[in-house]
Amino acid sequence: MSTLSVRNISVAFGGNKALSDVSFDVGPGQIFAIIGPNGAGKSTIFNAVSRIYDVATGSISFGSHDILALAPHQVVATGIARTFQNIELFDNATVLQNLLVGCHSRMSRNMLADFLFLPSVRRGELAARHRVEEILDLLDLQHLRGERVADLPYGARKNVELARALCADPKLLLLDEPASGLNPEETTDMAFWLKDIKEELGVTILMVEHDMNLVGRTADRVLALANGRVVAEGTIAEVQANPDVQAAYLGVTA
Amino acid sequence: MRTLFKTSYAFDINHLVDPGERARVGLLILLALGLPLLLSDYALSETMMFLCYAVAGLGLMVLTGFTGQVSFGHAAFLGIGGYAHTWFLMQGVPFLLSLPLAGLVAGAVGALLGRAASKMHGFYLAIATLAFAILMETVFGAAEPLTGGHMGIEVPPIALFGHVVESAWQSYYLYLAVLLFLVWGVANMNRSPSGRAMIALRDSETSAQSLGVNIARGKIVAFFISTFITGIAGALMAHQLMYLSPETFGLNESLKLLLMIVVGGLGTISGAIIGAVFVSFLPNAIEVLRGVLPAGIGEQVGLEPFLFGAIIAGFIIFEPDGLYGRWRKFRLFLETYPYYKRASAVRQKRYLKTGRFR
């Protein structure tokens, strides 16, 4: 099992420091939540881990892999899959096709073999399809299999994006606000799924989340971030009790 | 309304599992096979031109329809394919070898252009491909030893296994076979990882990348396949034109290809074929129309480009899904009658996409 370890990373956009000197470790089998006010740099951490942003200083490693040495499309092969804050699905494709792209990193691709659809390609498709069906079962999405994503409501898209990330067979799942835009009932479902994913699939989860209800119910550890700096780290109770965290959210009393 | 019950994964993998669709495609192929019996030699050669455009449209569809990379310069690849094929034939390369070689030459140039264009988007890509097309037209004119320059070059006839193919119906079947093979190949791509990677690139580069799709490589592959197919179309077209000159592959031709796939319906193989029907037979239809219209309008010089433009503008405004999209709506209407509602075909409002990384 692998640990994600983020060491002293800083990310700057021009003079604007989005992250300064942030360090934390996500151990195997944990659900680790990052909380913080808007603009605290939560999504920036995700974008640094998935190599969309370059970090100025610091290091990120996952197990024995040095993440910062990889190109963005190579990150998923180390076992890190992610979702996005503003859903990034392939809108003009069906749910099934979306999930099959999720399997992309585990499938062999050969342009010529694909063009001729050799028997090996069919075998690969069937194997990928098998994986997709398992995930559809887990998240209760079977009825949406053939729907075009553009025709789905928001909550369903959120789940499809989670399913797509799971199709990559990750060891670590980065979820950017899994509960945003979901109603209380859907949020409860999400909490159950996160636990299922952790316990049944043995996937470590790192999530950014504003819904304290969801964080309280699922997270083993919480990291509070404000203005690009770590304010507190610990269990949800410890973090909520921390006066610096309260000050970051509510301001300081005079 | 009939529901197709899927009992194995093969239903989602195999081509044409819907019996109705299978019957329609089968009928079309039968009709295509029987055409030489029905048509005069002139009409048959028009139909062969249509087959060339269908192949070229298929090529452009891979790039623009599936991968979302617009190209304003695809006629250049028709030209590269045509000239390369002619040159190979004159060197004594047999037709069956020369055809794929011409495709490979066009594909190699296309892959280079794709490498250069892999970081470009929308507007900039359009300008780059436009510039490439203008450049290539000049190159065709200047490279006299290879292309005959502006004087043009004569295309040797098709010869298979040492026999010159003389009758139109023989080459018609050859063209049809090439089209069917390429359609089958592109349909195969669409059900396998390479094709899905293209669709992923079209719809969201960011998440495609996070799922392991190499953006630059994917675009180069798309350019290669697209220009390979278009190059083959150019080689086939060369035999129909019989005489190649640089002006044949000018901007007009590029625009014609692009308009063809827009009118047919972006993002579907059927769209490319339907669009090819449209551009190939519209000029003939306009000729007929000229006879019917009063002389004042019928004899106007600009009638053809005017109608072309008007029809295309009409499609972009009223039916962005093209003729194939219209056909699908019509089928939905028939299948669900009398429960069809206008709203069934109305697109849901797209959710706003923000937070893009460029």
For strands A57-62 and B159-160, give the pairing. Answer: unpaired
Tell whether the model's pLDDT for residue A147 goes beyond 50. Answer: yes
What is the number of alpha carbons within 13 Å of residue B79 lying toward its C-beta?
30
Q: Do A109 and B196 touch (CB under 8 A)?
A: no
- Candidate from A87, A90, A117 with C-beta closest to B200: A90
Cβ pairs A/B, distance under 8 A? 135
Give B241-285 pLDDT, tens digit per residue: 999 999 999 888 998 898 899 899 888 999 999 999 988 888 888
Q: Which residue in chain A is spatially nearest to B203 when comparing CA positions?
A: A90
pLDDT at B345: 58
Give yes or no for a contact between B72 and B131, defined as CB atoms under 8 angstroms apart. no
Give yes or no for a contact between B158 and B99, defined as CB atoms under 8 angstroms apart. no
| Least confident segment among B81-90, B97-106, B109-118, B334-343 | B334-343
Q: Do A76 and B192 touch (CB under 8 A)?
A: no
Q: Do A90 and B221 touch (CB under 8 A)?
A: no
The verdict on whether omega for the bond into residue B19 sits within 30 degrees of 0, i.e. cis, is: no
Give yes or no for a contact between A62 and A249, defined as CB atoms under 8 angstroms apart. no
CA distance B118 to B69: 9
A134 touches chain B (CB under 8 A): no
Binding-face residues of B in 140-179 toward A, CB within 8 A = none
Give yes or no for a contact between A220 and A231, defined as CB atoms under 8 angstroms apart. no
| In chain B, where the domains are located | 21-253
pLDDT at A80: 95
A74 touches chain B (CB under 8 A): yes
> Smallest Cα–Cα separation from B172: which of B270, B57, B51?
B51
With helix as H, strand as E and coil as C, how does chain A read?
Answer: CCCEEEEEEEEEECCEEEEEEEEEEECCCCEEEEECCCCCCHHHHHHHHCCCCCCCEEEEEECCEEHHHCCHHHHHHHCEEECCCCCCCCCCCEHHHHHHHHCHHHCCCCHHHHHHCCHHHHHHHHHHHHHHHHHHHHHCCHHHCCCEHHHCCHHHHHHHHHHHHHHCCCCEEEEECCCCCCCHHHHHHHHHHHHHHHHHHCCEEEEECCCHHHHHHHCCEEEEEECCEEEEEECHHHHHHCHHHHHHHHCCCC
Task: Give the CATH superfamily of A1-79+170-254.
Answer: P-loop containing nucleotide triphosphate hydrolases (3.40.50.300)
B9 touches chain A (CB under 8 A): yes
| pLDDT tier for residue B58 given thresholds of 50, 70 and 90 | very high
- Candidate from A77, A84, A157 with C-beta closest to B207: A84
Chain B residue numbers touching A126 (CB-CB < 8 A): 9, 13
A228 touches chain B (CB under 8 A): no
| Amino acid type, A105 | S
Give A26-41 pLDDT, tens digit per residue: 999 999 999 998 888 8
CA distance B302 to chain A (A): 38
Q: Do A89 and B214 touch (CB under 8 A)?
A: no
Q: Do B192 and A121 touch (CB under 8 A)?
A: yes
pTM of the model: 0.90
Length of chain B: 358
Q: Do A89 and B206 touch (CB under 8 A)?
A: no
CA distance B17 to B32: 21
Gyration radius of chain A's alpha carbons:
19
Mean of all residue pLDDT scores within chain B: 88
Ranges for all domains in chain A classified under CATH 3.40.50.300: 1-79+170-254
pLDDT at B346: 56
Q: Which residue in chain A is spatially nearest to B186 when comparing CA positions?
A: A115
A156 touches chain B (CB under 8 A): no
